[in-house]
Amino acid sequence: MFKPDQCDLCGDCLTKCPWLQADQEQAVAWMKAMMAGQETPALRQCITCYACNEVCPRRANPFDLIAALQERFDSFKSREAAASQEAGYTFTKALSGYPRADRVMTACLFEKTHPHLMQGGLYDLPRVGGKPYFCWMLFSHWGQNSLQRKHAGEMVERLALTGATEVVCFHDDCYAMLARLAPDYGIEVPFRPVHLSEHLVGRLREQRGRIRPLGISIAYQRPCASRHTPEKEHFVDELFQMAGVRRVPRTFDRENALCCASIKLLLGNGDPRPDQEKNVRDAIAAGAQAMVCLCPMCLDGLAAVAAEYRLPLIFLGDIARMALGEIPPPDLSGSAIATE
Ligand code: SF4
Ligand code: SF4
């Protein structure tokens, strides 16, 4: 939720936005207008990457203000289109067949679309997925933030039916919803959300003796949802360290990360390709032999440009599987940077 009392109109949120061209004067003028409930060009230029919420030094949540106005002014989707999308994602049947266990994993909608990313011993735990467990984060990317909020409680309630004390989130967005947004909405989450990176680190610690360090340098593609939960980032670093992977320092990482830009296509907000090229070139210039993605959408969205630049893409979970010898190490023979 936007906290106007905490905003001192510094303008940082919009001047540091990777997607708007706003100088300080413009940023302050836009913020003032939006705080007065007015429409500004920022609403349409924003690609909903959540970066401004992380950047704001006063934790005022400027994206939440932008998102509310995007919805009010139908910046991306009309109310009718949003209602139709809402109906399509809403689970209306009786829920059955869910596991009961102390720790379960939620695969959100990726169980059907990306089953190859959750194979092997690291994912050997009871799993739920599909429409009943959809986290609804997609709707804040469509300028329909209230629908995300409206349905958040259903996801929490259905996960709670498993009786789990810990729920591993395969997708960063689900983790952001459970660890940050649902509590912000006043929804009680009666279990501990576990980020995928924490789960993988735990499994690697249990099998430390099996780890064969990969000895490669990678660029990390930090996804947009991580803006909501930067506190878990140390698990990503620990995973890389345990797997013998060097995360190269580069321009577009950590707080300065560039989202995969795929959302531009969904929003009709321009061609993502120049931004994706900028991102991939930055990784290669920093000496990365491959790029590691946490989000399956980043993997898919960056695939064409990364292939063109000969930068192999690897899913974060596959790094752990490679280190354990479950799957072969990455083939870097065609990489733009083949050897260290
Ligand atoms: S929301 Fe935060 S970053 Fe933006 S103007 Fe206000 S205080 Fe500054
Ligand atoms: S959500 Fe991202 S694109 Fe939108 S204003 Fe904030 S930083 Fe810019």
Measure 56 CA to ligand 1 centroid, in angstroms: 5
Contact residues of ligand 1, CB 6 A cut-off: 7-13, 31, 56, 58, 60, 62
Q: How far is CA 179 from CA 27, 170, 175, 214, in A?
A: 30, 13, 6, 31
User: Which are the contacts of 262, defined by CB distance < 8 A and separation ≥ 6?
Assistant: 272, 297, 298, 300, 301, 302
Q: How far apart are CA 156 and CA 139, in angstroms?
A: 17
CATH among 3.40.50.2300, 3.40.640.10, 3.40.50.1860, 2.60.40.420 for 207-323: 3.40.50.1860
Domain ranges of the chain: 4-72, 89-195, 207-323
Q: Which of 164, 140, 17 is nearest to 82 (CA)?
A: 140
What are residue 169's phi and psi, to 5 degrees? -100, 115
- The residue whose C-alpha atom lies closest to atom 7 belonging to ligand 1 is 7
Model confidence pLDDT, tens digit, residues 31-52: 999 999 999 999 999 999 999 9
Higher pLDDT, 338 or 35: 35
- What is the pTM assigned to this prediction? 0.96
Let me know if the fold of 89-195 is the same as that of 207-323: yes
Model confidence pLDDT, tens digit, residues 154-197: 999 999 999 999 999 999 999 999 999 999 999 999 999 999 99
Q: How far is CA 265 from CA 171, 272, 281, 297, in A?
A: 21, 7, 21, 12
Measure 62 CA to ligand 2 centroid, in angstroms: 9
CATH among 3.30.1360, 2.60.120, 3.40.50, 3.40.190 for 89-195: 3.40.50
Measure 61 CA to ligand 1 centroid, in angstroms: 8
Q: What pLDDT is recorded for position 338?
A: 56
Measure 293 CA to ligand 1 centroid, in angstroms: 29
